[in-house]
Structure 1
Amino acid sequence: MKLTEGLSGRQFALLAAYISIGDSMLVLPSIPANAAKQNAWISAIIGLAAGMIVVWLISAAGRLYPRMTLMQSSERLFGKWVGKAVSGCFVMYLFLSISAHTREIGDFMTTQMMPETPIQAIHIMYAGIMAMAARLGLETIARTGEFLFSFFLLFLIVFILFLIPEIKLNNLLPVWDGGLKPILRGSITMTAYPFMELAVLFMVIPGVRKPEVMRSNMVKGALFGGIVLLSIILLSILVLGPDYASRSIYPSYALAKKISIGKFFQRLEVILAFMWLLSSFIKSAVFFKVLQTAFAQTTGMRTDKGMELPFSMLLVFFALLISSNILDFHEVDQYWPYMDMTFSVILSLALLAAYAMRRSAAGRREELGHENKGKD
């Protein structure tokens, strides 16, 4: 069973960009700002550089068997039972990630835009939309993202240009205050949330028409997403100041409220909300579809169709169970990056090591075979 066929290199790159930006556009800037204060932009640069290494590592592991999903390649490299265990853990990781994305949507909508709406109603609507997207298939999701990318790019440019008059360069001073330790601590989440979650593309790589261009497109998409997040983190410090940016749960949304051009263009939060909801939805829809296929392949089902309703119902339940309130939810920042690291860096290294060991063993067997033939 294959996930999809017919993704172009451009569509794959855009999926990588959407996943990199995703929910991070709204919630990420406050985390490095809390750790590194006015030096959060330096943390973002370090995180971007480290993230490119992570992306290269994921793409290298994905190129081992470009026509196999992670479930299939892990069973081939690790054996049936170890491969099944890896696949099961990856399924749980996908499910927890989508639950967290759904909870973020609910928290934002009920605290910033629709405070009188029950969070359960937001979760039900969002899970239903994800289920519909997954039902239509990953290629449809990719085409939707491709069609809407021009609007995303236009709104991003408008968002940045309208904030230029609000910039205060003094907010970057003093540079390097506090030393290297807080800067490195702030760079961890900049590496984890945008780039390590690209491990989901292990399941998408088999659907790319030309596997040979997969790595370059993946790097291009991730780099674009990283530059977008770096820009928003820098703007958060320049416009809001390090103290406000670190205290705010949604600093980029606060940025949008600062836009004021000639007392005519004001409070353009809808620009930021559109960009965030679009990138978050594409990311969540990809995770949802991949979850279906990963679960089906792990359990040996013939098809992944028909699981949209059960998974969406479970997501509505676990999105509430994952934390008691918005403040407790953001405490997961302390350990979530390490879970992302497990299924991106560690898993990729394990796949590459297993592949190298099998190649080495195959080479030794071939040498022994030639020696035996020579003796005969």
Structure 2
Amino acid sequence: MQKTEISAKQMEATVAMFLIGSSLVKGGSSPAKQDTWICIIIAVFLTIPLMWVHTKILNLYPGRNYYRNILRAMGRPAGTVVCLIFTLYTFHLGALVMRIFSEFIHIAGMTSTPIIAISAAIVAVLVYVLTNRLYVLARISKFMLPFLYITVAITIVLSYQNMDLRNILPILNSKPSDLFQGVLSALAVPYGEILICAPMFGALSREEKIFPTLFKGVLLGFVILFSANLRNFLTLGYSVSVFQFPSYESVSLIQFGDFFTRIEVLIGINLLLAGFFKCCVLLFSACDGLCETLGLRDYEPLVAPSSLLIMTLSGFVVGNTLELFRWMEYMSVYTLPFQVLLPVLVLIVGAARKKFSKPKKQGKNPDTTEEEPPAPRPQES
């Protein structure tokens, strides 16, 4: 499907930019409050088994096509249902992410602009990038990730005068139930969303291994998210839960006299870049899922209609900003079945079918599904 393979470094940067995405804009507190940073660390460790599961699914059959491997592992009827479930989940998540960034642009700087107009502008760029193939997005990711690191590092240094270490004290004073909810929240958004990144690895260079690449990408995203979350809490304290976009509010406090202010404008641009990459990956995953479900050869014809569908859903998925962030509180309950249960089920069924299936006959095309009958043998003279 891909004309050009993606290198490991480019894939790592793309995964990192995807994970940073909306979490860098939204990243605030959790039920664990001052112990949120501990929940983030625990969630990263819990993500390692999920990365292993997705890696095994990608390596079940040659080609590393995630959705195609699901179809082969589960069989065509059940596999089609699972792929369709994943695709619908991706569409819904894409609508939520697009709504978050449209709301961010609307609230932060374009209060007189309708949200639908902002979403339309985002969709136009998404369609342009993805119709030029995924490797274009991967190259841009590798170029932009260092700037995001530099920006976050600068804001941490400049926010030092506004930080108070007492904001994270006392450590581990939260209830066990609150810690558990905080871990689930961090696992669901964003680390469990590596499910959306899995289809991209079909374009990874065949010389590269999947698990190390995915792990490094998650680690790169974790460094920025952890640093930004800790900066927000040290700067804003318990009031971090009051703000809709804590990262933007935290950086807005930076100023030196009357000549160095409004640095949050530059930060807002970087936040939008991260969100753009997340929307791109979500749109690609949705199109790839539809492509395999419908039996098409290429995802490109689906990019424009799928992006319009996501834009339309973003306008109806929630009624207002308050409903949007109230919905985010239930993401850990809503997303975990898609992120954990279904991938584990696919791997178990696929591994079992592959182990107990009959050996393939010579001359059978390795890219065909197990349900396809073997080619007829030529008659001997």
TM-score by length of 1: 0.90
Query: Within 2, Cα distance between the matches of 1:269 and 1:53?
Result: 37
Aligned counterpart, 2:11: 12
Task: Tell me: CA distance 1:337–1:63, structure 2 relative to 1, closer, same or farther (3 Å).
Answer: farther
CA contact (8 A) 1:194 1:226 kept: no
Runs of 4+ in structure 1 off by over 3 angstroms are 261-264, 362-365
CA contact (8 A) 1:6 1:207 kept: yes
> What amino acid sits opposite 1:42 in the alignment?
I
Any gaps of 5 or more consecutive residues in structure 1? 366-376
Structure 2 residue 306 is the aligned partner of structure 1 residue 316 = no
CA contact (8 A) 2:99 2:314 kept: yes
SS in 2 for 1:116: coil
Q: Deviations over 1:315-354 (max 9, x none)?
A: 2221110000011011222432344323332222112211
Task: Tell me: CA distance 1:331–1:280, structure 2 relative to 1, closer, same or farther (3 Å).
Answer: same
CA contact (8 A) 2:83 2:293 kept: yes
Q: Which shows bigger deviation, 306-315 or 151-160?
A: 306-315
> What amino acid sits opposite 1:78 in the alignment?
M
Aligned counterpart, 1:111: 107
CA contact (8 A) 1:52 1:222 kept: no
> What amino acid sits opposite 1:309 in the alignment?
A
- Alpha-carbon shift at residue 66 of structure 1 (Å): 5.5
**Aligned Cα RMSD in Å?**
2.1
Structure 1 residue aligned with 2:46, among 45, 50, 55?
Answer: 50
CA contact (8 A) 2:14 2:138 kept: yes
SS in 1 for 2:147: helix
> What amino acid sits opposite 2:328 in the alignment?
D
Query: Within 2, Cα distance between the matches of 1:28 and 1:181?
Result: 21
Output aligned runs, 1:79-228, within 5 Å. Answer: 79-210=75-206, 212-228=208-224
Query: Within 2, Cα distance between the matches of 1:334 and 1:100?
Result: 13
Q: Deviations over 1:107-156 (max 9, x none)?
A: 11111211111111101111111111111110001111112222222212
SS in 2 for 1:68: coil
CA contact (8 A) 1:3 1:290 kept: no
Task: Tell me: CA distance 1:307–1:178, structure 2 relative to 1, closer, same or farther (3 Å).
Answer: closer
Query: Within 1, Cα distance between the matches of 2:275 and 2:200?
Result: 18
Query: Within 2, Cα distance between the matches of 1:59 and 1:339?
Result: 23
Q: Which shows bigger deviation, 217-226 or 3-12?
A: 3-12
Aligned counterpart, 2:265: 270
TM-score by length of 2: 0.89
Structure 2 residue aligned with 1:247, among 205, 217, 242?
Answer: 242
Query: Within 1, Cα distance between the matches of 2:351 and 2:207?
Result: 20
> What amino acid sits opposite 1:122 in the alignment?
I
Aligned counterpart, 1:21: 20
Aligned counterpart, 2:340: 345
Aligned counterpart, 1:368: none
Higher-helix-fraction structure? 1
- Alpha-carbon shift at residue 269 of structure 1 (Å): 0.6
- Alpha-carbon shift at residue 303 of structure 1 (Å): 2.8
SS in 1 for 2:6: coil
Structure 2 residue aligned with 1:288, among 283, 286, 292?
Answer: 283
> What amino acid sits opposite 1:228 in the alignment?
I
CA contact (8 A) 1:29 1:245 kept: yes
- Alpha-carbon shift at residue 12 of structure 1 (Å): 0.9
CA contact (8 A) 2:20 2:274 kept: yes
Aligned counterpart, 2:370: none
Any gaps of 5 or more consecutive residues in structure 2? 361-381
Query: Within 1, Cα distance between the matches of 2:354 and 2:312?
Result: 45
Task: Tell me: CA distance 1:203–1:150, structure 2 relative to 1, closer, same or farther (3 Å).
Answer: same
- Alpha-carbon shift at residue 178 of structure 1 (Å): 3.3
